[in-house]
Amino acid sequence: MTWTKYQLFLAGLMLTTGSLNTLSAKWADLFSAKGCHDVPEHNFSHPFVQAVGMFLGELSCLAVFYILLCHDRRNPEPRINPGESFNPLLFFPPAMCDMTATSIMYVALNMTSASSFQMLRGAVIIFTGLLSVAFLGRRLLPSQWLGIFITILGLVIVGLADFFSGHQGDTHKLSDIITGDLLIIMAQIIVSVQMVLEEKSVVPTQKVETPSFFGFFVLSLLLIPMYFIPVGDFADNPRHVLEDALDAFCQIGHKPLILLALLGNTVSIAFFNFAGISVTKEISATTRMVLDSLRTLVIWVVSLALGWEQFHGLQVLGFLVLLLGTGLYNGLHRPVMARIPCCAGMLDTQEEQNSPEERERLLGDGKVQTGDES
């Protein structure tokens, strides 16, 4: 099938904005500037402020939707379907999971490289698959179980690459790298819980950006108590509190380039969510998964080019193994096998073990994204 210019634009937009999202967040972490009250220059380490900015970007998508909806209602024949009515509180539990996972991942990004950060997020398919079996009563296909085991192997390889890079005097301490990698894995568990809660609560798909409303306002309010919670050396800010939002604003005032990095993170997530949903609608969920995997490659190449990290052969192997595991879980092998007579029979045998409804749900669950969209 030949892609239209609009489809090519959407694919390019998703790949570009998805890569910029992680790169701009990491760029902000690399800055150092003076703080409030003439505090000496120090690293910009404000993960929770960055998380608020990301939710602001997602919230802008919801604002644009309602602006377009209001404008459409003025027409004699409205064309936009506002979707079914629902209780907004349905979104609160998954929104809290989203808020917690996002915050943890921004903390982890400050401790590890951007490429490892993106690769390790592929762990989400492991926990999503296991939780869907345990709590949703799903039966995974053999290829999906194989994809999970291969993904675990890929995570081990990426973890080893980070371990050896820490011994080679990379930009991060070994202890920070290990902690950051573990935090990313922990965040993926929470993301998986979010997905199960959304399906268990029968969350309306038309309102996918609504959780960002709760995430933005709750996390913004939490910045106040975070300002007074001491965490010792775990926090890399002058007061050693969980989050010092005032110090973040002071650093931005002293070095405006930090604001540019934060805006890049906020704006890119808004366009990335739009592009991701549009790619799924206009092309396919499989294409979206492939583009998301390419995003990991772009982030890794750009990080190497900018000197943010060193080249490690194990990362290449880890990326390829993770790509294979994700592809198997998402059914990317199916079109290839369907063209081979003997393999096509194997696919038919596997599918006969499940009802049509079960197969549809399995393939739907398989379209797990490793991106930042909520």
Examine residue 263 and state whether it is found in any structural domain, yes or no.
yes
Examine residue 186 and state whether it is found in any structural domain, yes or no.
yes
Examine residue 373 and state whether it is found in any structural domain, yes or no.
no
291 contacts: CB under 8 Å, gap ≥ 6 = 11, 14, 15, 18, 279
Average confidence (pLDDT) over 139-160: 91
Instruction: Express each pLDDT in 186-212 by its tens digit.
Output: 999 999 998 888 777 655 444 555 667
Q: In terms of pLDDT, which residue wins out, 339 or 169? A: 339
Q: In terms of pLDDT, which residue wins out, 101 or 332? A: 101
Instruction: Express each pLDDT in 315-367 by its tens digit.
Output: 889 999 998 998 888 877 776 666 666 655 555 454 444 444 444 444 443 33
Position 213 pLDDT exceeds 50: yes
Examine residue 24 and state whether it is found in any structural domain, yes or no.
yes
Per-residue confidence (pLDDT) for residue 357, from 0 to 100:
41
Report the share of the chain in percent with pLDDT over 70: 82
Examine residue 16 and state whether it is found in any structural domain, yes or no.
yes
Average confidence (pLDDT) over 113-119: 90
Per-residue confidence (pLDDT) for residue 187, from 0 to 100:
95
Position 369 pLDDT exceeds 70: no
Examine residue 360 and state whether it is found in any structural domain, yes or no.
no
Examine residue 110 and state whether it is found in any structural domain, yes or no.
yes
Examine residue 323 and state whether it is found in any structural domain, yes or no.
yes
Per-residue confidence (pLDDT) for residue 241, from 0 to 100:
94
Least confident span in 7-16, 136-145, 252-261, 329-338: 329-338
| Highest mean pLDDT pick, 33-47, 192-206, 286-300 | 33-47
Host domain of residue 182: 5-36+43-75+87-345
pTM, 2 dp:
0.85
Per-residue confidence (pLDDT) for residue 288, from 0 to 100:
83
Per-residue confidence (pLDDT) for residue 84, from 0 to 100:
60
Give the chain's domain count.
1
